[in-house]
Structure 1
Amino acid sequence: MPKPSLAAYQLPASAAKALRDLGENLALARQRRKESLRAWASRMAVSVPTLIRMEKGDPSVGMGVYATALWLMGRHAALPEVAVPAQDLNALEQDIEAVRQRGKRLSRKQEQAL
């Protein structure tokens, strides 16, 4: 069994809550479909304990397990939208700041043209 990543246990509180919420939503989706833990785990090709951990939002459960659960729900197509570049506000702010900095540094030719 692989050694668990320390990063999984040092999540920011808001990220940990988001995983718990996702797990709860996936559990509700399974229950609404009247699927047992055993049947759903079998369809996902994981063990029942792994499915239970996923439904609790355990950060050590692999992304592929969450993706498979979303696929069973028909929601896997939404995964790329989670990190769509247009919504990365931090990177956008960095890009804007870089443009501002470039604007402040005029080349000698540009200075002479003024």
Structure 2
Amino acid sequence: MPKTARALLQLPPATAAAIEKLGADLAVARLRRKESLKTWSKRMGVSVPTLQRLEAGDPAVGIGIVATALWLIKRDGELGNLAAPEHDQGAIEMDVREAVELGRARAQAAAEARLRTNRAKG
């Protein structure tokens, strides 16, 4: 039996649930198209057991296989936006914090410079 990657063992519960839902949704998409496991797996270039693992929500299924399944149902266009920088809320919040800190530092430096100038004049 293959060794399970530590990252898969540490998968957050909500993420594992989302992967399971994706697999189930892909199974529904295949069934709505009245495609058999055998036919769909051939179209994807994978084995039937791999397709079954995908549809069962196995997080160890490769992203390329997931992307191919999404392509078959014309949903692969969404992949390009999943990690787009403009949607990375954590990084955006960090950028804002850094800008605020920079603004405060500059305001402090300006205030100190004014104070030094006033002392030199006085």
TM-score higher than 0.5:
yes
Structure number with higher relative contact order (C-alpha < 8 Å, ≥ 6 residues apart): 1
Task: Give the superposition deviation at 1:10.
Answer: 1.4
**2:59 aligns to what SS in structure 1?**
coil
* Structure 2 match to 1:74: 74
Cα distance in 1 for residues equivalent to 2:108 and 2:95: 24
> If the length of structure 2 is used for normalisation, what is the TM-score?
0.83
Question: Bigger CA drift: 1-10 or 84-93?
Answer: 1-10
2:22 counterpart letter in structure 1: L
Q: Distance in 1 between matches of 2:22 and 2:76?
A: 13
Quick check: which has more Rg, 1 or 2?
A: 2
Q: Secondary structure at the match of 2:38?
A: helix
Tell me what 1:59 maps to: 59
| Cα shift at 1:9 | 2.2
**Alignment RMSD (CA, Å):** 2.1
- Does 2:91 match 1:91? yes
Q: Which amino acid aligns with 2:24?
A: E
Alignment TM-score, normalising by the size of structure 1: 0.89
For the 8 Å contact 1:9–1:59, the answer to whether it is kept is no
Q: What runs of 5+ residues in structure 1 fail to find an aligned partner?
A: none
**1:92, 1:108 → 2: CA distance?**
24
Report the secondary structure of 2:106's partner residue: coil
Match in the other structure for 2:113:
112
Alpha-carbon deviations, 1:35-84, whole Å to 9, x = none? 10011111111111110010011110000000000001111111112222
Structure 2: gaps spanning 5 or more residues: 116-122
Paired letter, 1:41: S
Matched letter for residue 40 of structure 1: W
- CA drift of 1:99 comes to 0.5
Question: How many percent of aligned residue pairs carry the same amino acid?
Answer: 48
Aligned residues: 114
